[in-house]
Structure 1
């Protein structure tokens, strides 16, 4: 009887140890997402988007103020300081000039110029 009681006690102790170990692992491996960290991540994403929109707007403004560039068909996309120019211009010289103007805007780290040449219809 003593042997059976000892094995029962040992089984209970081992079961409790196993359950507490599994519980501790599941809590420590789960990522901790608090409402504050989620809100902070969302605020960071929003501020990045806002900065990208502002940079794109600044580049468009600089292009529109340049008299020798036709900006009607130029599209600007900014991401983290990298600016991409797409669309078309009527004169080959405007392609290089647009890239120069975009590079001169504060905050621009690189310019990808995908502008193409397209004749204007009058």
Structure 2
């Protein structure tokens, strides 16, 4: 009888120690899915901003880089005309899903480096 009680206690203790790591693994897998989903949304938003640049009349986006994170868009790189710095920000703000724009564009001065 004592032997049976000891076996049951050991089994119960073993299960109690095994369950928390298993639950922790499920939590990690659950948080990975939203992170991947937000990455996809960020990529899609950056692509939408680049598409808006390509459709804008007279805007040269060849030196403009777009990064998006949670609706916040960062513009970096350079443009050949100073008026395009403000124009780029205006275009980016017009894209659905953009919540803010950080404009780090500079004026391209030319040269070979």
Q: Shared fold by TM > 0.5? A: yes
> Residues 58-116 of structure 1, C-alpha deviation per residue, up to 9 Å, x if partnerless?
00100111122111000000000000000000101100000000000000000000000
1:53 is aligned to 2:43: yes
Tell me how far apart the structure 2 counterparts of residues 97 and 87 of structure 1 sit (CA, whole Å).
14
2:55 equivalent among 62, 65, 72: 65
Structure 2 match to 1:110: 100
SS at match of 2:46: helix
Asked if structure 2 preserves the Cα contact closer than 8 Å seen for 1:92 and 1:117, the reply is: yes
Structure 1 match to 2:5: none
Deviation at 1:44, TM superposition (A): 0.7
CA RMSD of aligned residues (A): 1.9
> Residues 15-51 of structure 1, C-alpha deviation per residue, up to 9 Å, x if partnerless?
xxxxxxxx9xxx7xx785143x222111111001000
Question: Structure 1 stretches of 5 or more lacking a match?
Answer: 1-22
SS at match of 1:91: coil
Deviation at 1:119, TM superposition (A): 3.7
Task: Give the TM-score of the pair, scaled to structure 1.
Answer: 0.70
Asked if structure 2 preserves the Cα contact closer than 8 Å seen for 1:91 and 1:119, the reply is: no
Question: Structure 2 stretches of 5 or more lacking a match?
Answer: 1-12
Structure 1 match to 2:7: none
TM alignment of 1:16-55, pairs within 5 A: 32-35=23-26, 37-55=27-45
